[in-house]
Structure 1
Amino acid sequence: MRDAVKTIGNLIDKQSICYVSSVDEAGYPNTKAMFAPRKRDGIRTFYMTTNTSSMRVGQYQKNPKACLYFCDRRFYRGVMLKGTVEVLHDPLLKQEIWHDKDILYYPLGVDDPDYCVLRFIAVEGRYYQNLKSETFTIQ
């Protein structure tokens, strides 16, 4: 892959959902679909919203290891990113990535205590396309 940031960034930007994994107390992976990240910096840092009270937030607070997976079903290609998650409550960041439709999930608005931001920082990835996989480091 000549330009991983461009190739993978384009794939990510076209997806409306991503698959997010955390690790439970027994050491097993837990995966769920979430809305695509609200913001990303390259292919290293991603920001998503979720409920502070969610099982996933509790798991990240105990073990920050995580994985994101983006899949382009039309062209049968995808990328897995491994890294860590931080649970953030920064009011400026929460305001920055707030969408009007979020009121459906957080009825008290941007200051709802059940509204938080997950910041995922990738350290490694694996890209699949055309029957080939390629692992790459993210700096």
Structure 2
Amino acid sequence: MSSPEHKQKIWKLIKDVKVGMLVTQGDGVPHARPMHLVQDDYDGTLWFFTRASAEKVFEARKDSEVCLSFSDQDDGVYVSLSGHANLHRDQGLIDKFWNPFVAAWFPEGKDDPDVTLLEISVQSGEHWKAKESKAYQLYEVARANLDKDHTPDMGENEKFGTV
């Protein structure tokens, strides 16, 4: 888990990315697929809509440990979050998070019995944020190749939580 300040930092890194790659386990093999955030803030839990009949739902029921990764190459942001998946068919939550983007994927509407919310309770993670331009990063790599005592300074990296 992380502090309220750290949760704000994580949200600041991922809120504009919007789409993360969700990794579940199926038959001992990891499966990744894009998932779109539906919330407006972050308190340690991430929410996504999915179909109850989707393969990821069966995989999450079998093994609730999942990983999510977010990437924004333009801003040098990379976030990896690990946690536990839970499924919800709570109409109040569905109403709260329903939006036109989600509606496009569910033509039967929010009352469709196949509409389900996937909740990821984040337990740990790691994030990277480049503090300088790509040109500076290239300079740092070149300098490290010329000077074996130099380690490239590519920006911020932080791990948090417990597994």
Is the TM value for this pair above 0.5?
Answer: yes
Q: When you count strand as a share of all residues, which structure comes out higher?
A: 1
Letter in 1 for 2:88: L
1:7 matched to which residue of 2?
Answer: 9
Q: Which moves more between the two structures, 109-118 or 95-104?
A: 95-104
2:157 matched to which residue of 1?
Answer: 133
2:99 matched to which residue of 1?
Answer: 99
Gaps of 5+ in 1: none
2:142 matched to which residue of 1?
Answer: none
Distance 2:108 2:159 in 1: 42
1:63-112: CA deviations, max 9, x gaps? 11101111121122211110010011111111111113433322221110
- The alignment partner of 2:93 has SS state of helix
Q: CA RMSD in A?
A: 1.8
1:21 matched to which residue of 2?
Answer: 23
Gaps of 5+ in 2: 131-153
CA contact (8 A) 1:49 1:116 kept: yes
Structure 2 length as normaliser, TM-score? Answer: 0.74
- The 5-angstrom pairing of residues 49-60 of structure 1 reads 49-60=49-60
Q: Which moves more between the two structures, 9-18 or 124-133?
A: 124-133
1:25-76: CA deviations, max 9, x gaps? 2x221111122x1126535101110111111111011111101111121122
Q: Which moves more between the two structures, 4-13 or 14-23?
A: 4-13
- The 5-angstrom pairing of residues 67-82 of structure 1 reads 67-82=67-82
Distance 1:113 1:31 in 2: 25
Give aligned pairs, total. 134
Q: Per-residue deviation at 1:122?
A: 0.6
* Overall identity of the aligned pairs, in %: 24
